[in-house]
Amino acid sequence: MDSFRLAQLFIKGHSSKLRLHIEAARTVLTYALAGVSGANFSPAVTLALYLSKRLGGPGLDASVAGMYALVQLVGGICCGFCFVNMFADSFRLGPGAGFSWVDACFCEAMYSCLFCFVVLNTTAARAYSSEGNEFYGMAIGAMALAASYAAGPVSGGLLNPAITVGVDFAGAGAGFGKSLVYAIFQLLGAGIAAFLFKMVRPMDFDEPESPRTRLISEIIGTFALVVVTVGLSALAKTSMAVVAIAGPESAFRSFWAAWRSGAHFNPAVTVAVLLSGHDADMTPKRAVHYIGSQLLSCVLAGWCFCLLYNGSSFVLGPGQGFSLTAAAVAEMFFTALLAFVVLGVAVSPKTKSSQLFGLAIGLCIVVGGSSAGNISGACLNPAVSIGIAASTAGWAATKTALRYCFFQLLGGSIAGGVVHLLHSEIITVNGHGETSKLIFGHA
């Protein structure tokens, strides 16, 4: 994996297909080696697992973590030397054009945190280790793909001290030592991920569950979804931003499946769940708390990517040649489709999937993004709309965001109503006067 990353950084232009190939390789290697070593591939992931163990939860012992980190660093250095000998060239670590070292280090810490957080929740969580899951590799690969697109223009998107050290050794002739700066922030992100893991899964650490845990889950997930996908991917102008958006959507939905917050990360989805009536825990009061947490998180995310990109942002509104009415209809329709799919594969007891719901939701994002992206931007989420408005801090952007929010919430309401009708039990009386239950499609 380290050699793949080194090649990615060496080839100029950071081709979209190349990024997809790299993360596909990560995914298949994760599946191939997870049963042997855990497929950490990164001292940052190893540190996160070690800290989780020290905090009283699942993870790695100090001796195992130390050996893992050592061989990972050796592997990175060997790949660096192989790369120099193969290509007769080297490159240096550093921020992208127009960005400072502060920007690059912050970006590495943030994305390392999110990546390690996904790994912890999909591989170390006791709910999954006892029951098993088949989606961990896809979730990890999807998060890595999103981080590659979003962080690449700022810092290179290394997210791995072993790769960082390998790059530094490969470019030692042009200066050595900058890997230590990157590695410190990557490991810092891993440490934060371990503490966040404890916050959202206290029962894995033999601590009682708190009602606040659900809200913390929504805050973390919504922040990550907004700042990782829409914020940095759109500002970086990546040609496959739709895939980058679908990546963490799939990953976050997957690793929160066993958690009781439901992983909404979207006020329109929360409204849909409330109106569908299929989640007994989703009361109007709780829905208000969820939406408040999501909106707070998206505002913070908007400010975050605005500061990271030195105050630059992008305009929310209809695409060239399209009216606001067309954009509103597109947002309403595809938000309704997204909420309908979420309810069908993750909420309804009649149709929900135990494994591949995250993939279904992620592919729904791809459909909406590719179909409505040129029309409205395909936010499909009031949190995303508000996050964009927060980054611009202008009244015009705020008005557009509020209009988007109205139609997105309307789409969520439509989805909730449709699911309530299609999945509800209808009491009928048969010809003999006996009461029976009829489920649409199932008698």
Look over the chain and give the mean of its residue pLDDT values, rounded to a whole number.
81
| Tokens encoding 173 | 């002739």
pLDDT at 410: 97
Judge whether residue 29 has pLDDT over 80: yes
Judge whether residue 247 has pLDDT over 70: no
pLDDT at 88: 64
Q: Which residue has the higher pLDDT, 122 or 405?
A: 405
pLDDT at 15: 52
DSSP state of 233: I
Q: What percent of the chain has pLDDT over 90?
A: 32
**What is the rounded CA–CA span in Å between residue 139 and residue 130?**
18
Report yes or no: 358 and 250 within 8 Å, Cβ to Cβ.
yes
Give the pLDDT confidence of 88-98 residue by residue, as tens digits.
Answer: 666 678 888 88
pLDDT at 434: 41
Task: Tell me whether residue 417 is exposed, middle or buried, using C-beta atoms within 10 angstroms of its C-beta: 0 to 12, 13 to 18, 19 or more.
Answer: middle
| Tokens encoding 121 | 């929740």
pLDDT at 442: 42
**What is the rounded CA–CA span in Å between residue 178 and residue 427?**
69
Instruction: State CA 58 to chain mean position distance.
Output: 22
Tell the residue number behind the tokens 């699911």, with chain if given.
419
Give the pLDDT confidence of 100-148 residue by residue, as tens digits.
Answer: 999 999 999 999 999 999 999 888 888 776 556 778 888 888 888 888 7
CA atoms within 13 A on the CB side of 159: 30
pLDDT at 278: 83
What is the number of other CB atoms lying within 10 angstroms of the CB of residue 440? 12
**What is the rounded CA–CA span in Å between residue 292 and residue 297?**
9
Give the pLDDT confidence of 43-61 residue by residue, as tens digits.
Answer: 999 999 999 999 999 999 9
Bridge partners of 438, per DSSP, are 426
Give the pLDDT confidence of 2-12 residue by residue, as tens digits.
Answer: 555 555 555 54
**What is the rounded CA–CA span in Å between residue 386 and residue 382?**
6
Judge whether residue 329 has pLDDT over 90: yes
Task: Tell me whether residue 71 is exposed, middle or buried, using C-beta atoms within 10 angstroms of its C-beta: 0 to 12, 13 to 18, 19 or more.
Answer: middle
**CATH says 1-209 is which class?**
mainly alpha
Q: What is the mean pLDDT of residues 228-240?
A: 58
**What is the rounded CA–CA span in Å between residue 347 and residue 16?**
34
Largest CA distance in the chain: 90
pLDDT at 439: 39
CB-based contacts of 321, cutoff 8 Å, min separation 6: none
CATH fold, domain 215-443, is Glycerol uptake facilitator protein (1.20.1080)
**What is the rounded CA–CA span in Å between residue 36 and residue 31?**
10
Q: What is the mean pLDDT of residues 199-203?
A: 91
Question: Which of the four pLDDT bands, split at 50, 70 and 90, describes residue 42?
Answer: very high
Question: Which of the four pLDDT bands, split at 50, 70 and 90, describes residue 306?
Answer: confident
Judge whether residue 428 has pLDDT over 70: no
| Tokens encoding 303 | 């400010």
Report yes or no: 292 and 216 within 8 Å, Cβ to Cβ.
no
**What is the rounded CA–CA span in Å between residue 119 and residue 189?**
13
| Tokens encoding 73 | 């660093």
Task: Tell me whether residue 37 is exposed, middle or buried, using C-beta atoms within 10 angstroms of its C-beta: 0 to 12, 13 to 18, 19 or more.
Answer: exposed
* Among 171-185, 225-239, 271-285, the least confident range: 225-239
Sign of the Cα torsion 377, 383, 386, 390 reads negative
Judge whether residue 425 has pLDDT over 70: no
Residue type, 304: C
| Tokens encoding 246 | 């679908």
Question: Which of the four pLDDT bands, split at 50, 70 and 90, describes residue 438?
Answer: very low
Q: Do domains 1-209 and 215-443 have the same CATH topology?
A: yes
* Among 158-167, 301-310, 413-422, the least confident range: 301-310
Give the pLDDT confidence of 276-301 residue by residue, as tens digits.
Answer: 988 888 899 999 999 999 999 998 98
Phi, psi angles (nearest 5°) of residue 426:
-110, 125
Phi, psi angles (nearest 5°) of residue 435:
-85, 135
CA atoms within 13 A on the CB side of 262: 28
- Vertex 211: Cα angle to 210 and 214 (nearest 5): 105
pLDDT at 74: 92
**What is the rounded CA–CA span in Å between residue 309 and residue 202?**
35
Give the pLDDT confidence of 359-397 residue by residue, as tens digits.
Answer: 888 888 888 888 888 898 888 999 989 988 887 767 777
The residue extents of the domains of the chain are: 1-209, 215-443
Q: With CA atoms as reference, report the closest residue to 136 among 346, 359, 351, 342.
A: 359
Judge whether residue 430 has pLDDT over 50: no
